[in-house]
Amino acid sequence: MTRPNSFTVSAIRLHWIRIPLHEPFRISNGEVSTKDAILVELQAQGYDAPGSTSALTGWGEASPMAGGFYSAETPESTWDALRLQLVPGFLKQPELDPRRCSERFEEFPGEPFAKAGLEGAVWDLCSQLNSRPLWAELTGVEVREGQIAKPRDLASGAAIGLMPTVDLLLERVARFLDEGYRRIKIKIEPGHDVELVRAVRQRFGDIPLMVDANAAYRLEDRHVFDELDGFGLMMIEQPLAREALAEHADLQRHLRTPICLDESADTLDSIREIIRLGSARILNLKVQRMGGLWPARCAHDLVLSAGIPCWLGTMPELGIASAQGLHLATLPNFKFPTDVEASERWYVDDIITPPIEVSRDGFIELPDGLGMGYQADLEKVSRYRVRLEELRT
Ligand code: MG
């Protein structure tokens, strides 16, 4: 298919979406019961021949958690950053090369979620304009017209929040293993750690298991990690504070279990420092936190060259950002199951079609098609929308 090369951006619509969770998600520093996301709908018009036009739409998603307990950015601050700064700046001089678009965002300080939302829409549009699937656009894999090329399927892991009782935790682990998920991650916090892991190991044996502390401990708590070190965990995610890189390096030197840094891996500079100090043996990369697919791609390349494997984490996001992250996770250094789960896992509904599905053996297969392969479901976008704003060129 040939696309006209004269596509021009006509408008951007921002849709603030709110979808309830099946149940509140609790981690060591907060709880959330609804999912907020700001969808970025980038509209472009093409002029094929005199009097004949066609339209293309790229979708992105800015997906901060409500309440800001995970990051300084909230849905409110992200909405304002998009509406008042990033989108007006973009529309003044639209840049449809997502790499250059991402570089241009560097003039704006902060706001990684807002940047990820707008940049995601540019990637989606750009891959459609180039008649390529997003994964090929992101990885640089050559896909010739008429050739059937498939990216690898992606292993999915289940993440379980802090549960009110150990029995409830075990019930959830059983359910997700039964659904085929390729590994189980459980959240821990001081006072609720070793006994949770022991209970899971006693009931389920040698399953692929990891823990996530969401930065809740201090180096003085190292006895907890010494104990956890005996359980054969895949990794211990973010045991100490975000900025405690030297302390993480100290802890890692004394543990066999790899430390995986998540909250600490928020910029390319901090990732360079993690590598330099030896603070982690695995990295959890999050597209939203890095400020988009291109910065996340650069982070992937950086840790690959340092011999550190990574995996794709989540906020978690709704379908559009999840799908785009999955396309990125086809890159070779994403070596562990992703936190992206089935659409139905967290939310009562999702705004893409088809929904993200996990096979009985725990894999996600990306759909065929140009761009991200999944479509925004416009009826659901309007059903769950709490705010709408349209900005035009
Ligand atoms: Mg984490």
CATH code of residue 100: 3.30.390.10
Domain that holds residue 259: 154-376
Q: Count of domains in the chain?
A: 2
Compute the distance from residue 50 Cα to the ligand 1 centre, in Å: 53
If asked whether residues 384 and 341 sit together in one domain, one would say no
Same domain, 372 and 382: no
Same domain, 235 and 353: yes
If asked whether residues 235 and 369 sit together in one domain, one would say yes
Give the Å distance between the CA of 106 and the centre of ligand 1: 25
Ligand 1 centroid–CA 313 distance in Å is: 7
> Are residue 117 and residue 164 in the same domain, yes or no?
no
- Alpha carbon distance 129, 5 (integer Å): 8
- The three-class DSSP label of residue 391 is strand
Q: What is the pLDDT of residue 1?
A: 47
Tell whether 382 and 316 lie within a shared domain.
Answer: no
Kindly state whether residues 277 and 302 are assigned to the same domain: yes
Is 326 found in the same domain as 274? yes
Q: For each of the chain's 393 residues, which pLDDT tens digit applies?
A: 445 557 899 999 999 999 999 988 777 677 888 999 999 999 999 887 777 788 999 999 999 988 766 678 899 999 999 999 999 999 999 999 999 999 999 989 999 999 999 999 999 999 999 999 999 999 988 777 666 678 999 999 999 999 999 999 999 999 999 999 999 999 999 999 999 999 999 999 999 999 999 999 999 999 999 999 999 999 999 999 999 999 999 999 999 999 999 999 999 999 999 999 999 999 999 999 999 999 999 999 999 999 999 999 998 899 999 999 999 999 999 999 999 999 998 899 999 999 999 999 999 999 988 999 999 999 999 999 999 999 998
- pLDDT reported for residue 52: 77
Asked if residue 161 and residue 276 are part of one domain, the reply reads yes
2 alpha carbon to ligand 1 midpoint, in Å? Answer: 42
31 and 60 housed in the same domain: yes
CATH classification at residue 351:
3.20.20.120
Distance 131 CA to ligand 1 centre (A): 35
Find the 212 Cα to ligand 1 centroid distance in Å.
Answer: 6
Ligand 1 midpoint to CA 263 (Å): 7
pTM above 0.85, yes or no: yes
Amino acid at 89: G
CB-CB neighbours of 161 under 10 Å: 18
- Active centre residues (catalytic): 187, 286
Whole-angstrom distance, CA of residue 268 vs CA of residue 298: 8
pLDDT score at 2: 47
